């Protein structure tokens, strides 16, 4: 089996399960990444706003506009820009860990689960969004040399690196101010600034966090455009979207969510939809023939159960909105295919 040409689970689920399952995978991807992009832009505005006197919302919308224009010019220079942003972000996080290590207090780490056992999967569901970026590698299957060999390597390396860095940052942040204070700061969109007492580190964090969020937003918009392209090519979305640029990404939807959205709500909705999406990914992997598998069927089987459990742990009010997105996808699929059948 060839590596998917750009649609990732959208194409695999369509082959392994059914065309309808493929459509729902693509639809969930668009919903999850649109809300993630909006949350990322809001976070960028919060950190960048702390360094300037500009309103955070204006900065967030400026980011949406700037990245859209960059993508419209076929990503000219985007690779170099992304590398610079990632290096700046990693440098600021390493600075934060180094400077804050000595401020960690054991009392701030006790109890391990301040909101009880149920709080662990609920937090893990939201945290899953932070790891889901590795999927952007798979959606760029057409642009990568030897994708069957290089994409699995890139996925494993990116996950391992992110896990180590996130673990160190979380340990220092919570160990410095405690879980309750960190949670309150997270709602405001700039939690790490509250976890350091050093003015120089605060400034470095603001720069690094803004750089990191800018890089994430760039990659999210790229992934959205590639998925919309793949779905339009598969005749599940209007044909004009089958162009590889920012015109095929839901730019206006992202901007609207930035203007009206709440970062915690957006992340929760994104978490639910992306977990269902990866549930379909694992289900598709279970249906692969033996010669096409990379791992034992136990791995995707465990992943399927884990995704379902985490999706069910999303706060109820946000889970309802995520279910609404699923229903909207079903309605679109039925009406679009019926209209296509009539026109054909």
Residue-wise pLDDT tens digits, 58-79 = 998 998 888 877 766 655 556 6
State the average pLDDT over residues 85-94. Answer: 82
Report pLDDT digits (tens) over 261-287.
Answer: 778 788 888 888 989 988 888 888 888
Query: Mean pLDDT, to the nearest integer, of 191-210?
Result: 73
What does the pLDDT read at residue 342? 55
Residue 305's pLDDT is what?
A: 93
List own/partner pairs for 45-53 with CB under 8 A and 24 or more apart: 45/189, 45/258, 46/188, 46/189, 46/190, 47/189, 47/190, 47/193, 47/205, 47/206, 47/209, 47/210, 47/213, 48/206, 48/210, 50/190, 50/193, 50/206, 51/203, 51/206, 51/207, 51/210
Q: Indicate whether 29 pLDDT > 70.
A: yes
The mean pLDDT value of the chain amounts to: 79
Tens of pLDDT, residue by residue over 123-143, are 888 888 878 777 666 656 666
pLDDT attached to residue 302: 93
So what's the pLDDT on residue 210? 81
Task: Please state the domain extents for the chain.
Answer: 9-338
Rounded mean pLDDT, 211-235: 80
Q: Each residue of 162-184: b (16+ CB within 10 Å) or e?
A: eeeeeebbeebbbbbbbbebbee
Q: pLDDT band for 2, please (50, 70, 90 cuts).
A: very low
Residues 161-185: tens digit of each pLDDT:
888 988 998 898 888 888 888 887 7
Least confident of 144-158, 186-200, 212-226, 287-301: 186-200
Q: What is the pLDDT of residue 301?
A: 93
Provide Rg for the chain, Cα atoms: 20
For 9-338, CATH number?
A: 1.20.1740.10
pLDDT computed for residue 304 by the predictor:
93
pLDDT of residue 327: 86
């Amino acid at each position: 089996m060839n590596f998917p040409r750009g649609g990732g689970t959208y194409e695999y689920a369509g082959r392994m399960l059914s065309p309808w399952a493929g459509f729902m995978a693509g639809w969930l991807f668009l919903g999850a990444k649109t809300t993630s992009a909006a949350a990322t832009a809001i976070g960028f505005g919060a950190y960048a706003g702390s360094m300037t006197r500009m309103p955070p919302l204006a900065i967030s919308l400026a980011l949406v506009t700037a990245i859209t224009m960059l993508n419209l010019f076929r990503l000219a220079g985007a690779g170099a820009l992304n590398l610079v942003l990632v290096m700046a972000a990693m440098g600021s996080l390493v600075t934060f860990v180094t400077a804050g290590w000595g401020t960690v207090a054991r009392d701030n780490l006790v109890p391990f689960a301040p909101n009880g056992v149920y709080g662990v999967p609920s937090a893990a569901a939201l945290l899953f969004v932070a790891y889901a970026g590795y999927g952007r590698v798979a959606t760029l299957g057409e642009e990568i040399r030897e994708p069957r060999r290089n994409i699995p390597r890139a996925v494993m390396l990116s996950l391992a690196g992110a896990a180590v860095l996130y673990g160190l940052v979380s340990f220092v942040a919570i160990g410095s101010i405690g879980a309750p204070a960190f949670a309150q700061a997270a709602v405001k969109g700039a939690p790490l600034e509250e976890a350091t007492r050093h003015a120089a580190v605060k400034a470095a964090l603001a720069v690094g966090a803004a750089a990191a969020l800018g890089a994430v937003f760039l990659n999210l918009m790229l992934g959205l455009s590639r998925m919309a392209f793949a779905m339009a090519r598969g005749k599940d979305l209007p044909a004009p979207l089958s162009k590889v640029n920012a015109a095929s990404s839901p730019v206006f939807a992202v901007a609207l969510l930035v203007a009206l959205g709440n970062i915690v709500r957006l992340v929760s909705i994104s978490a639910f939809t992306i977990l269902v999406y990866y549930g379909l990914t694992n289900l598709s992997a279970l249906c692969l023939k033996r010669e096409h598998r990379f791992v034992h069927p136990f791995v995707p089987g465990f992943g399927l159960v884990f995704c379902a459990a985490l999706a069910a742990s999303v706060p109820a009010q946000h889970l309802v909105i995520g279910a609404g997105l699923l229903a909207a996808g079903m309605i679109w699929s039925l009406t679009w295919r019926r209209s296509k059948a009539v026109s054909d």
